[in-house]
Structure 1
C-alpha cells in the first residue's frame, strides 16, 4: 500500500502539473485577440472497488492509483468585443470561424484582425490570406456590374480576396426621362426640362417647349412640342425633335408623337406618361417636374463590410456595389478542431469537414452576423482561471505531501524491521 501511495502521489503531481500548464497558458493569452481557452479534464486511474462490511451503504468505495489527464477541451464561450479603428477588423457575433490560408493550407480562427497588403489582398497581420468568394464584377479596375450581394460558393472552393485600390464605376448614360405636370388650358408657352447624362459623363438638358396647336380641334386640346437636347449652358445643341401631344376633354393625355431624342450620342426616350400619369392639360395652375435614369461615373471612396460578410465598394457618386463575400465556416464539432496555436485551428476527423449554412432555398449563407471596427477578445475569465490555478496548486501540494508521508511511513517500517 505504501508503494501504491508513491504511485498515486507521482501520478497526481504529473496530472495537476498538466492542469497548471493549461491554466497558465490561458492566463498568458488573456489579451490575445480571438484566443480560445482550454479546460483540463481528469479521470481516475486503475480504480478498484473495495469490499465493505455492509451492503446497506449507498456509497461505492474505491481505491486506485490517483488521477490522470483524460482530455483538454476547448471553451466555446464568446469573448467580449473591443473597439478598433480599422474597418477591416472583424468580429463574428455568433457561431463560426474565419478561414485563412497560407501555402495551400486552410486553417480557421476567430481572430478577425485583417488588413490589405501591398497587392490589395485581404490578409492577417502575419500574411495569411483571408478566404471568401470574389464577385465577378471587376475587370481591369472597372466595375462591370452593380450587385446587391455576392453569393458564397462551395466551402471547398473559397479563394483569397483581392480588391483594387482604384476602382471606377463607369458612366451609365440616361436612356429615359419622364415628365409630369399640368400645362393648364391657357394659350401660352410652357417649358419643362430634365437633366440627362451622356456617354461621356456630361450632364445635359432635355428641354420641352409646348405651344397650343392653332386651330384647335374639339373635343379636347392639342399642343405642339419641340424637344431640344443641349448642354446645361445652352451653348451646344445636340438634337431637336418635334411632335404633338393630345388631351381629351377631361385633360388626360391620349397620344404623343414625340418619342426619342439624341443626347450627344445616347438615345433618350421621352416619356410624357399616359392619361393622368404624366403630363396633363386641365384647368388650374401650371406646374412641372421630371426624373431621369442614368448615373455619373464615380471613383472608389472605400470598401466596407456589412453584417452579412458582404464586401461593399462605395463610390464618389453615391453608388454602392457588393464585390465579394467573406466566408464563415462551421463544424459539426468545434471542440474536435486540432489546435495549431491559441487562435488558429485545423480540421480533424473529430471536427468534421468545414461547411456553410444554407437558407431555405439551399443557398450558402454566412449563418451569423459580422461586425467591423471590432475584434473579439480572449474568452479567458481571469477570476475563474485564478481560482482554478489555486485549486490545482493545492492539489499539487497535497500529492507532493502524500509522497513525503509515504516516504516517512516507509522509513518507519524499515526501522521497525531493523529493530
Structure 2
C-alpha cells in the first residue's frame, strides 16, 4: 500500500477510537460525578528523499475534562458534593482511589461507603463510622457530626498531577503521582454533582467524527479503484 493509504488508515483508526470515547461520554451523561473524556491527536512526520514528507495522525491520548458539573440538591443526608477543586478518597481492593461521585450510604458494619460498597476515607485515611439512628450533619470543611457531636472528617484530597490520573471504573481515578489533603475543602451535604458531559456538544462531535471517517473511507475506496485500474492497464 502506498503512503497515502497508510496515512489515511492511521487517521481512520484514531477517529474510531474517538468515536468510542464520545459514545462512552454520552452513555454516562447522567452518571453522578462523571468526567468528560476527549481524544488528543498527535502528528508523526517522516522525511522522504526526493519527495514531500509523510504526515500521519494518531489518536492515542485520552484527556479528561475536570470542570465541575452542576450541583443538584437531593436532600439526602449522605449525599455530598465538593464545590470547587478536590476529590473524595475511597478505599478499593486495588488501593486508594479518587472520585467526585458523592452518593454514599452505610454498610452493615456502619461504615460510610460508596454505591459499590467501597469505604469512604477520612482525612487520615481511615474508614468513617456512622452511628445508627443519629442525625448526621456535615460542615463545609467535611467535618461529620452525629447529634451535634463531631465524629470525623470526610477526606478531600488534591492530586499532585491531575493530568496523569487514570480513569478506573467510570467515576474512580488513580492518582499515580500521589495526592495531598485539600487545605480548605468545601463540602455540601444534600447535594450531588452531575456529570459534566454536554449531550448536545457530544452529539455534535459524533456527527463531525462520523463525517470525517466517511470522508477518509471514501478516499480509500477511490484510491483502491485507482490502483486496480492502473494494474489492469499495465497488465
TM-score tier after normalising by the smaller chain length? over 0.9
Counterpart check, 1:371 vs 2:199: no
Q: Is the 8 A contact 2:142 2:185 kept in 1?
A: no
85, 101, 114: which one aligns with 1:111:
101
Moved more, 81-90 or 93-102: 81-90
What is the CA-CA distance between 1:38 and the residue it aligns to?
Answer: 0.7
Q: Which has the higher helix share?
A: 2
Q: Is the 8 A contact 2:114 2:120 kept in 1?
A: yes
Using the alignment, how far apart are the partners of 1:11 and 1:76 within structure 2? 28
Per the alignment, residue 395 of structure 1 pairs with 212
CA distance in 2, matches of 1:125, 1:7: 46
Q: Does 1:404 align with 2:232?
A: no
* Residues 208-219 of structure 1 mapped to structure 2, 5 A cutoff: none
Matches of 2:16 and 2:167 in 1, distance apart? 20
TM-score (norm 1): 0.53
In the alignment, which residue of structure 2 is the partner of 1:415?
232
Matches within 5 A, 1:192-341: 300=134, 302-314=135-147, 320-341=148-169
Conservation of the 8 A alpha-carbon contact between 2:131 and 2:146: no
Q: State the TM-score, normalizing by the size of structure 2.
A: 0.92
**Structure 2 Cα separation of the partners of residues 39 and 104 of structure 1:** 26
Shift of 1:105: 1.8
Alignment of 1:85-234 (within 5 A): 85-103=75-93, 105-132=95-122, 152-153=123-124, 158-165=125-132
Report the Cα distance in structure 1 between the residues aligned to 2:49 and 2:69, rounded to whole angstroms. 46
CA–CA distance in structure 1, aligned partners of residues 49 and 20 of structure 2 = 34
In 2, Cα distance between equivalents of 1:407 and 1:163: 67
Gaps of 5+ in 2: none
Change (3 A) 1:377 1:340: same
| 2:8 corresponds to 1:9 | yes
Contact 2:84 2:186 in 1 (8 A): yes
CA contact (8 A) 2:161 2:175 kept: no
Could you tell me how far 1:50 is from its partner in structure 2? 9.7
Q: 1:50 to 1:387 in 2, by over 3 A?
A: farther
Q: Which has the higher strand share?
A: 1
Aligned length: 235
CA distance in 2, matches of 1:51, 1:89: 66
Q: 1:63 offset after TM fit, Å?
A: 4.4
- 1:292 equivalent in structure 2: none
Aligned with residue 198 of structure 2, among 372, 381, 393: 381
Secondary structure of the equivalent of 1:15? helix
For 2:48 and 2:57, locate their aligned partners in 1 and report how far apart those are by CA, in whole Å: 15
Report if the CA contact (8 A) 1:122-1:162 is conserved: yes
